[in-house]
Structure 1
Amino acid sequence: MAGRIKDEDIALVRERTAIADVISEHVTLKSAGGGNLKGLCPFHDEKTPSFTVSPSRNVYFCHGCGQGGDAIKFLMDTDHLTFVEAVERLAGKAGIQLRYAEAGPAPVRQQQGQKQRLIAAHQAAAEFYAEQLGSAGARPAREFLAQRGFDKSAAERYGCGFAPDAWEQLTRHLRGRGFTSQELVTAGLAREARSGSLIDRFRRRLLWPIRDISGDVIGFGARKLLEDDDGPKYLNTPETPLYKKSHVLYGIDQAKREIARQGRAVIVEGYTDVMACHLAGVPTAVATCGTAFGTDHIGVLRRLLMDTDAFAGEIIFTFDGDAAGQKAALRAFEDDQRFVAQTYIAVGPENMDPCELRLARGDTAVRDLVARREPLIAFALRSVIGRFDLDTAEGRVAALRATAPLVGKIKDRALRPEYARKLAGDLGMEIETVQRAVHAGSGGGAVAPAPRTPVAADSPQSMVEREALKLALQQPVLAGPMFDTLGVENYRDPVHIAVRDAIAEVGGAATGASGAVWIEKVRDACADLAAKARVGELAVEPLRLDAEPDPRYVAATLARLQWGAVTGRIRELKSKVQRINPVERKDEYLALAGELFSLEQHARALREQAVGGL
């Protein structure tokens, strides 16, 4: 199986991609002076342009929301693609044939043409099935949709189709379009019969095309319509090079922008539920395809929700309220601990799913279902408590043992005491007893230390740190040799420290070359999102210099950077010397005094160098 794209090819894609051309497809850009362009940010609402594009460096940055990067990152953010998907799209536009390397030592060439051929075959099949929906034989499919409240317009919006009552009609059609038998089998569109001939995989069924996050058709979901069909109620495309059911969310292509904008995803159980939610005004609905919601699906949604420890998006499940639904909710709660989004459950009246609810009570009822969501932990606790007889001491203790670990697993520690108090009330037990059980269920972990307080953003120290990092990012060839000699002890802002560590991790600024490749290399090495955002910001922020920077300016800036650290050390030494009795601790006093004298001389030299270069 092919692995990552070769670094040389990624660099070539960046080199041949004009970032202004890519961004101009989404944003109106105007000249902002200094060779930069500006426009309204596509990632947050604003009236005054703060979105800056630097064509010379092939990077962008928004001073309003902190989004930044190169053309690859822009496509990842706007179209919610993976890194590989974005590179492949840009490579296709630039006419670049990408090469892939396996995880092992031997590089191989990915059959990139195969993927495009399979996608093309699926698109042709989707068009064929959609056309068949209007045929006489497709009447049961049209009636199925109409009975569930979906008209012709809805069917067209979701590309609904019909697999005709024939054994090889699609196969013949696609062969006539130039696709080989092997391609149709690999795509999961056809299969070999017992006779050895090739036949269609789907027959006499209503079909929904399943698209990936970029909008390409990668498979189909087929619903049984006729009683004499002895197959399963739903039949999906098998696992193929395109279709991995554990990663697929139906409707993600239509829902992705609203999920990202609203910070919310609604998980429903079927294709018609997705359609019903979207048409009723809940555009963030998606569904799994023939498998339970799992870890890989969480990964897909995390990309859209920007799920981090500091961001609280919402995942809303619409499970049934019956025993199976309760079991699914508890399983989802366990999965929820793997990501940070706030998780809720919405149970329809009389256990109706969104499609049934829309038919029975209209669009407003579907929107109200989502609005009345309940925290998943509350639902899970209530479901577990319901298994025990709370009228007996044994029942209450057993219920506590079953529920305390659930409260202990709540990722937001501020919520644990509140749910512990609620649990105590529900069980009729003393709060101290419940709190001890919850603490034991959480593992009794120590409280994390408080983060280091950063210096003020507009302080002289912070400004000089920014300037030094800008030189390393924007002018690595010029500034690198001097910049790399200074350690991280010269920085006080934790975010700047993280950026400085990232530069050191990739080999230092002296190893870089001006442009997007170098900036992305540093960004990728950053340990957290704040540092990544700061790299993007500093990459386009003008230097505090009217002319082109030269070695004297670099030396002056780095002297100012050192001066801040040296003067801080001087203050510490002065305080320590003042607290020492020079008679009782003569040797220590003399050593500190000598170090202080040396540092003061160094500080004066740095100050002269800083002033002389500006």
Structure 2
Amino acid sequence: MRSLFGEDLKRRVREATEIVDLIRSYGVELKRAGRNWKGLCPFHQEKTPSFNVNPEGQYYKCFGCGKSGDVFSFVMAHERVEFPDALRMLAERANIRVEVDPAAVAQAKKDGDWKSYLYRLNRSAAAYYREQLQGGEGERARAYLKRRGISEEMWETFGLGYAPASGNGLVRRLQAQRAPVKALERAGLVGLREDGTPYDYFRDRLMFPICDQQGREIGFGGRVLEEGEPKYLNTRETILFSKGRSIYGLHLAREAIVEQRRAVLVEGYTDVIVSHQFGFRNVVAALGTAVTADHTRVLRRMADEVDVLLDSDAAGENAAERSLTVFFQEALPARVVRLPGAAKDPCDFLLAFGREKFAEALRERQELFDFKFARVARTHDLSKPDGIAKAAKELMDLVSLAPDPVRRAAFRREVAARLNLPEHELRFAQPVKVAVAQGEGGVEEVSQPEHSLAHAEREVLRWLFHQPAWILTTVGEVDLTGFAGVSERLIAKALLAAVDAGRLPPQAPDLTPDSHSLSGLVAREVLAGLEPEADLFAGKVLDEGDLERARAVCVALAEEGPKFARLKPEELFEMLLTALRRERLEHELSEAKRAVAAARARGDASELEAAERREQDLQMTLLRASKAWPRRPRRMAAT
């Protein structure tokens, strides 16, 4: 997606913002520590300073919690905003006028016009469903709502409606307004028969409009009134609606969540509605029982903690455990709330026992780890060695998901204490991330290379960060644009863009040419180019997570120099290039073997012959090259 802001604006804002002054303006006390500045991390609690700021590279890194980035990353993390808002805030701080890219504005207007039309269609559909709820055909739906104890005030507040059983009422209404069938289908409001004629997607269902945070209808949930499957039916995925990102009732709960800094997450539509009816305005629901990382990221912007209150049956227990994994991965504090008694869900409980009992249940919250341990203790016999071993593995699998090394270490001590095991015997599961740099407060965490070729590519980049005088030589020897790792290719392309613009290699005669001073300057230019290069990355749809991982790798490369630093630069350069060439050939050979297997499975004789020839050629090339290469160096620590 093309950025609305020109690259010149981003660069001017970045260059006008001194990172030490910016971070100090947020109340972080920084003290000089050599070339860097150091202070207590603003993103986690600590007593010993582990938050480092590099003014030459214009980046920060905390060795305690692993957070790192540039001026934009800092504002995004501290203010809990997205990049466009961070850019505007920093531009205003630097008295720089914000201008947008006209071509991007034109495309955004085109996209926005289409989305606006789909919003209008959904709004018309919601109005139609509300009308039907009040009409003759809506009698059974009204009776159901009354049996559930939902007041008419809540019907109006949440925009409840009814989709008639006829299956063509909404189609006729919207086509009378000249809505194209294609648009109705794109909005998820209709389905198409084999002959192409449309029919209402929702039929004979109580309708719950699903809104975005601005209160605009983006989709619907429909509940059957009699027996039937599925019991609940949601709008199909559209450009407006995604089940994994949408949170029911958030537009009504947002103010209360921000005020209390706490959200209560329940399972169903009626659970949310009745909770609001009884005055619990910070209650929302994931659509279905599956909590996703996107849900937690939305809630984190408003809440400091989340209470997970799911149904008290087996499905609810299992859903709470699945939620546990996501909350651990996203490091969002969360607790489990259990409802006492026979009432299955919050709606039934509130109607049976009232507001005070519900408030009391919310106060009796259980930490997620305690909830998990209780589940494990019920599943495994902790009086026997096999049961203890299985429990330890299950608990450590969960603990290993925590991104903060301090929290992981604390939870491991807790597992050891509860199972009466030596802490050193407990192993973390295969990590998603690996530690790469030791500091006073712990370790920084950076995504592991995707494969051995990406590892070799990363080591070449590390060399260039610390020996930028070799950049032009390396460009003549290696195709950096063809790097296979996502983070590695993003960094390489940003580095090449800085070379083309004349900003690299750095010209810094006034600097002492030590490795870390130069690497900071390289990191500054690469960080500045990562976002525009992400827009140009071919063959993969990139998201903010890819950029965050690349930024973290960039900072780590600048902070830790190459191994074998005692070798002469020429020797180390040749060693790195040899490792890269070997890994690239082996990577191509692996791809060729997969192509052979695929052709054989398809039974394509000509394709199989070509694939086998390619495999044989690569094997011979690798064999000949291996004889000319020096001895394989010891593997360097992965970053």
TM-score grouping bracket, smaller chain normalisation? 0.5 to 0.7
For 1:327, the aligned partner's letter is: N
Q: Is the 8 A contact 1:344 1:376 kept in 2?
A: yes
Displacement of 1:156 in angstroms is: 0.3
Q: How many residues align?
A: 401
For 1:394, the aligned partner's letter is: D
> Secondary structure at 1:319's aligned position in 2?
coil
Q: Which residue of 2 aligns with 1:388?
A: 380
Q: Which residue of 1 aligns with 2:348?
A: 356
Displacement of 1:424 in angstroms is: 5.2
Q: Which residue of 2 aligns with 1:182?
A: 182
Structure 1 residues 177 and 314, CA, compared in 2 at 3 Å: closer, same or farther?
Answer: same
Q: Is the 8 A contact 2:269 2:285 kept in 1?
A: yes
Q: Which residue of 1 aligns with 2:390?
A: 398
C-alpha offsets along residues 482-534 of structure 1, whole Å, 9 cap, x if unaligned? xx9989989xxxxxx99997589549xxxxxxxxxxxxxxxx9x979xxxxxx
**Aligned mates of 2:192, 2:125 — CA distance in 1:** 18
Q: Which residue of 1 aligns with 2:85?
A: 73
Alignment of 1:177-256 (within 5 A): 177-194=177-194, 196-227=196-227, 230-256=228-254
**Aligned mates of 2:192, 2:373 — CA distance in 1:** 50
Alignment of 1:589-600 (within 5 A): none
> Secondary structure at 1:369's aligned position in 2?
helix
Q: Which residue of 1 aligns with 2:274?
A: 276
C-alpha offsets along residues 587-613 of structure 1, whole Å, 9 cap, x if unaligned? xxxxxxxxxxxxxxxxxxxxxxxxxxx
Q: Is the 8 A contact 1:488 1:500 kept in 2?
A: no
Q: Which residue of 1 aligns with 2:316?
A: 325
> Secondary structure at 1:99's aligned position in 2?
helix
For 1:449, the aligned partner's letter is: G
C-alpha offsets along residues 209-258 of structure 1, whole Å, 9 cap, x if unaligned? 1112232211110110134xx44211111122222222111112222333
**Aligned mates of 1:257, 1:315 — CA distance in 2:** 15
Q: Is the 8 A contact 2:381 2:387 kept in 1?
A: yes
Displacement of 1:441 in angstroms is: 5.1
Structure 1 residues 149 and 447, CA, compared in 2 at 3 Å: closer, same or farther?
Answer: farther
**Aligned mates of 1:315, 1:162 — CA distance in 2:** 32
> Secondary structure at 2:154's aligned position in 1?
helix
Q: CA RMSD in A?
A: 4.8
For 1:450, the aligned partner's letter is: E
> Secondary structure at 2:264's aligned position in 1?
strand
Q: Is the 8 A contact 2:289 2:319 kept in 1?
A: no
Whether 1:346 aligns to 2:344 is: no
Q: Is the 8 A contact 2:330 2:402 kept in 1?
A: no
**Aligned mates of 2:135, 2:172 — CA distance in 1:** 18
**Aligned mates of 2:137, 2:103 — CA distance in 1:** 45
Structure 1 residues 73 and 500, CA, compared in 2 at 3 Å: closer, same or farther?
Answer: farther
> Secondary structure at 1:348's aligned position in 2?
coil
Q: Is the 8 A contact 2:132 2:161 kept in 1?
A: yes
Q: Is the 8 A contact 1:344 1:374 kept in 2?
A: yes
**Aligned mates of 2:352, 2:510 — CA distance in 1:** 65
**Aligned mates of 1:161, 1:190 — CA distance in 2:** 17
Structure 1 residues 75 and 448, CA, compared in 2 at 3 Å: closer, same or farther?
Answer: closer
Q: Which residue of 1 aligns with 2:105?
A: 98
C-alpha offsets along residues 152-208 of structure 1, whole Å, 9 cap, x if unaligned? 111100000111232321111112223122211221112223564322111221101
> Secondary structure at 1:384's aligned position in 2?
helix
Residue identity (%): 30
Structure 1 residues 203 and 498, CA, compared in 2 at 3 Å: closer, same or farther?
Answer: farther
Greater Rg, structure 1 or structure 2? 1
Structure 1 residues 70 and 249, CA, compared in 2 at 3 Å: closer, same or farther?
Answer: closer
> Secondary structure at 2:199's aligned position in 1?
strand
**Aligned mates of 1:333, 1:379 — CA distance in 2:** 9
TM-score by length of 2: 0.53
Displacement of 1:125 in angstroms is: 0.8
Q: Which residue of 1 aligns with 2:365?
A: 373
Alignment of 1:456-471 (within 5 A): none
C-alpha offsets along residues 561-609 of structure 1, whole Å, 9 cap, x if unaligned? xxxxxxxxxxxxxxxxxxxxxxxxxxxxxxxxxxxxxxxxxxxxxxxxx
For 1:128, the aligned partner's letter is: Y
Structure 1 residues 153 and 357, CA, compared in 2 at 3 Å: closer, same or farther?
Answer: same
C-alpha offsets along residues 535-571 of structure 1, whole Å, 9 cap, x if unaligned? xxxxxxxxxxxxxxxxxxxxxxxxxxxxxxxxxxxxx
Structure 1 residues 116 and 385, CA, compared in 2 at 3 Å: closer, same or farther?
Answer: same
- Unpaired runs of at least 5, structure 1: 13-62, 78-86, 102-108, 306-312, 453-480, 491-496, 508-523, 529-614
> Secondary structure at 2:321's aligned position in 1?
helix
Structure 1 residues 183 and 374, CA, compared in 2 at 3 Å: closer, same or farther?
Answer: same
C-alpha offsets along residues 326-368 of structure 1, whole Å, 9 cap, x if unaligned? 3323322222232121121112113631111111111223333
